[in-house]
Amino acid sequence: MSSANILFLLVLVLGPIVSISSPNWVVCWVGMELSFLGAVPLLLNDKLFFSLSKESVIKYFCIQALGSGLLMLGGVMYYMDFSSFWFWDLLFVSSLFMKLGVFPMHFWVPSVTAGLNWIAMFILLGWQKVAPFAFLVNVLENSPWLKMAVVVFGGISSLIGAIIGLNQTSVRAMLGSSSIVHTGWGCIGSVFGGLWVYFLIYCGGFFLLMVFFLIKEEMMIGFGILSLSGLPPFMMFIGKWTILKNFLYCECGWMFLVLPLVGALLSLFFYLKFFYSFYLSSENSKMKSKYFEVCSVILVFLTGVVYLFFI
């Protein structure tokens, strides 16, 4: 790795940390933008599909620049205007939705992820969402009237992401649609609790999947994709169960759970489709390392199975 890439990586990593730890809104916004500017050169670091990645990064830059402008305006008026006008709360949350890729600002995610390599995809769908989720939790604590709206939009996002994923034939675009579904669940977790448990497990499972893609272990790619569905033996089940448990503790209307649960059911179709594809292709080819696959299966299953005994 060159010295320039190390510098960009440091800026990428330290940006959200500055945003979360600072008490000043302008410094929080600057930290998020430093992370964004550090990510752009790393997203372009793809020699095999440079034309596709360049197009995806331009789309991502335009969308995030618009979201950053709206976020600065909404944040300044929200934190520094004492009139408590509802429009600034709405503008602030809308800009965060654009940053995160939540419905109705979800349109850019599949087309951007379709042209990125695996490391860039993890940066985009994982680390870059830390600061926006932290801001979303903060604004929901200070604006209780927005909570039900965020729950509704989170449920719609999980449903729309599942519908988009059903039409995808590219695994990269499918993972982008899956990210829309999981971000919708994260929005529900930001209201009722369990967001960071869910997000940490999602990032861990997604990172393992990217590693399997890089080393081209097709059997484990299939299991890694299936683990994102949240079926009970897998790790992702812990995150979804945590959010569902916190939701039931709050004694809210069960109607709010209909959309995310239907979205989880529909998303299972395209998870299984890609799982069968990679599983059958791995059966037709030679197994590279049986010990590696056995250890990986144990790692993917173990946490979810152990958790089942403590429910």
User: Which residue, among 91, 43, 103, 38, has the nearest Cα to 67 in the 3D structure?
Assistant: 91
One-letter amino acid identity for 69? G
Phi, psi of 105 (to 5 degrees): -105, 30
Tokens 């969402």 correspond to what residue?
A: 129
**pLDDT on residue 298:** 60
User: What pLDDT, on a 0 to 100 scale, did the predictor assign at position 289?
Assistant: 54
Helix, strand, coil percent content, the chain, rounded in steps of 5: 80, 0, 20
pLDDT, tens only, 28-83: 888 888 888 888 888 877 665 555 677 888 888 888 889 888 888 888 887 776 55
Q: What does the pLDDT look like over 292-308, one tens digit per residue?
A: 556 666 665 556 656 55
User: Total domain count for the chain?
Assistant: 1
pTM: 0.88
pLDDT in tens, 203-239: 988 888 888 888 887 888 888 888 888 887 788 888 8
**pLDDT tens digit sequence for 94-140:** 889 998 989 888 888 888 888 888 888 888 888 888 889 988 888 88
The residue count of the chain comes to: 311
C-alpha to C-alpha distance for 114 and 250, rounded to whole angstroms = 38
Q: 141 lies in which domain range?
A: 3-308
Q: What is the DSSP letter of 288?
A: S
- What's residue 294's pLDDT? 62
